[in-house]
C-alpha cells in the first residue's frame, strides 16, 4: 500500500498506525515485565539491578518511539515528508548505543545460565 501510494496522506497514516501499534504492544509488554519483576533474577543483586536499569532505558526509548509514531500519524495529514521524518526517529534512537546492547552484561547473564 505504501509503495504504490507513497505520497497519499491516508496510506502514510495507516503505515504509521501499524508502526505505532507494534511499538506500543512491545512497550506495554516491557512495562508489564518491569512492573511485575519478570526480568532476569540472580543471586548477584548488582547483575539483577543492571538488567533492570537496561530494561528501563529500553522502555523509555520505546515510549519516545511511540510518541514519534503518533506525531507522524498526525503530521501525515499535514505534510507526508514530516511524517516520514518522524517514522525515522525510533530506528535512529535504537541504533544509538547507550548500554541497551551491553555485550558484557549479556556475557555475564549467559555465563550464569550455563
Summarised one tens digit per residue, pLDDT across range 11-32 is 899 999 999 999 989 888 988 9
Does residue 86 form part of some domain? Answer: yes
Number of folded domains in the chain?
1
16: buried, middle or exposed (CB in 10 Å: 19+, 13-18, 0-12)?
buried
Does residue 73 form part of some domain? Answer: yes
Does residue 1 form part of some domain? Answer: no
Structure confidence at residue 92 (pLDDT): 92
Does residue 2 form part of some domain? Answer: no
Structure confidence at residue 37 (pLDDT): 82
Summarised one tens digit per residue, pLDDT across range 78-102 is 999 999 999 999 999 988 876 656 6
Structure confidence at residue 110 (pLDDT): 79
Structure confidence at residue 22 (pLDDT): 93
> Domain residues for 91?
9-112
Does residue 3 form part of some domain? Answer: no
Amino acid at each position: 500500500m505504501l509503495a504504490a501510494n507513497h505520497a497519499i496522506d491516508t496510506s502514510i497514516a495507516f503505515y504509521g498506525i501499524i508502526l505505532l501499534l507494534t511499538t506500543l504492544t512491545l512497550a506495554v509488554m516491557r512495562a508489564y515485565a518491569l512492573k511485575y519483576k519478570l526480568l532476569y533474577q540472580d543471586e548477584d543483586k548488582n547483575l539483577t539491578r543492571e538488567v533492570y536499569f537496561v530494561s528501563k532505558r529500553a522502555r523509555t526509548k520505546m515510549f519516545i518511539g511511540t510518541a514519534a509514531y503518533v506525531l507522524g500519524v498526525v503530521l501525515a495529514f499535514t505534510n507526508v515528508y514530516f511524517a516520514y521524518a518522524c517514522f525515522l526517529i525510533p530506528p535512529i534512537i535504537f541504533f544509538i548505543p547507550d548500554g541497551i546492547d551491553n555485550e558484557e552484561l549479556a556475557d555475564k547473564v549467559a555465563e550464569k545460565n550455563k
